[in-house]
Structure 1
Amino acid sequence: MEHVQEAQQFERKLNGRLMMNKVSKGIFFLSTLFGLVVLAVLLYRVLSEGIAYINWNFLTGKLSTNPERAGIMGAILGTFWLMIVVAPVTMFLGVATAIYLEMYAKKNKFTEFIQTNIANLAGVPSIVYGILGLTVFVRAMDLGNIVLAGGLTMSLLILPIVIVASQEALRAVPKFLEEGSLGMGATKWQTIRAVVLPVALPGILTGAILALSRAIGETAPLVVIGIPALLIPFPGSIFDKFTVLPMQIYYWTLDSSLVAEYANLAAATIIVLLVALLVLNSSAIIIRNKFTKRF
């Protein structure tokens, strides 16, 4: 009799767990479906409103108060020059910091404190970095709202992401490779340069490219430091004033309440920005797969 009761009890628990599993699976499926539906609606609306406005004149023209003559070449060039600053600054400082923390720094409470704060900085709202850039680069260093100030501000924004991604890539390198190199008489730096970095490079590049994708799509820090959006000449160096694609989308969206056609221009600019982000993210996957096969 006791065995029968235990079997019934076990069966009830099993049925409860199976039911809970089905409910959880259904909730997760509905959550995913909701996100996909919202994404599909957004893409449909953007494509339907903006695809007709994408032409050669739109891609190569200057910004204008006349919606029929407005173009985004200035914003495209501004985005390009911004990345010219952000990419090398972020890569050099981020990878160098990760190498020091993983390969040279002693493991103690102080380094744990630094790493914890770096991880926390990755989740700080972007507008906080805009305030920091306004205080340090625009006002204290008196750079103004030029490409260099915007690039340094965006570098601060994505630097924690690159550091964390680089650290994870370095930790994934098998220890026997490093130990074997040191055992053969190589110095610490020779081991890092010739053995550790080539193996960790796919992860480092993937994290860096994804971080750059975030920088391209950010608007709040640039709004805070006062980046203009209309009727400025094409930027030709890192010391020129500039605008970027997200800023142009932001201002055209605001102006759409006055002139409805600006909404279509904003949608067309969103398509261009999405294509740029898709190219960057795809290149990250290609680079990762290429170096993974090699090493």
Structure 2
Amino acid sequence: MIDGPTGASGIFSTIWPMPLEPLLIFQLALLGIATGFLAGLLGIGGGMIMVPFISAILGARGVAPGLAVKMAIATSMATIIFTSISSVRAHHKRGAVRWDIVKSLAPGIVLGAMAASLGIFSLLKGSVLALVFAAFVGFSATQMFLDKKPKPTRQIPGPAGLLGAGGFIGLLSGLVGAGGGFVSIPFMTWCNVAIHNAVATSAALGFPIAVANVAGYIVAGQHIDGLPPYSFGYLWLPALIIIASCSVLMAPLGARAAHALPVKKLKRALATILYMLAAYMLYKGLSAL
């Protein structure tokens, strides 16, 4: 165990009055490494991977289950701010980001994200939302796994269509704590955007999604009873800092791997992740009925 000022626990004890356990630091760092690589590789923020683990870690520390889930969603979303910046820099260097799409989707994303994070997720039944989410993601995964080609004439919709699509992406992302890649990538490929461009553009979209949602989570989480130490609204700062620090190092490696993989293999890899997300949400939804 490393306890001295040069060890991990020594570093974090200078940030928090109560030093964090080395095992907790290791768990959060490992989670950050995995989600950072996936963010760069597949354009997803890793929220659906982080949320279960952060919920379990908080639950083991005595946080009520419902509050633990909300804090996990908010904290995982906050890490996407940093992951997105790191990942999009790597994609931008390769000229893969469609900034025209980012600018067109961003206004709707911000509106949808704020609507979700400021209260809609607390009004909907989690079981119903989980089942709808599972069905949608499962359908998107099947389309990508089969490599079904869109009509050659299909293009990105006009301003009104992009505003609506952005609103839906931001809303759904805010309700489940994910970066939106599970919606935005299938949407863009359906509109004949090349998969590598779709992954890179999704990484860029993660930033406005995360910023808008995190602002809402902080406001909505004020004056909540039962928050653990080192909380800022619904954000749990130890997990945010450790996971973000590790994920930003791995996101560029994932981005380089994305450009090295064949398109078909990349689509199937993304479809596999989407199936896992759909199965998890289906289980959560059915178990809550």
Fold shared, TM-score > 0.5 on shorter chain: no
Class of the TM-score when normalised by the shorter of the 2 chains: 0.3 to 0.5
Q: TM-score, normalised on structure 1?
A: 0.32
Q: TM-score, normalised on structure 2?
A: 0.32
Larger radius of gyration between Structure 1 and Structure 2: 1
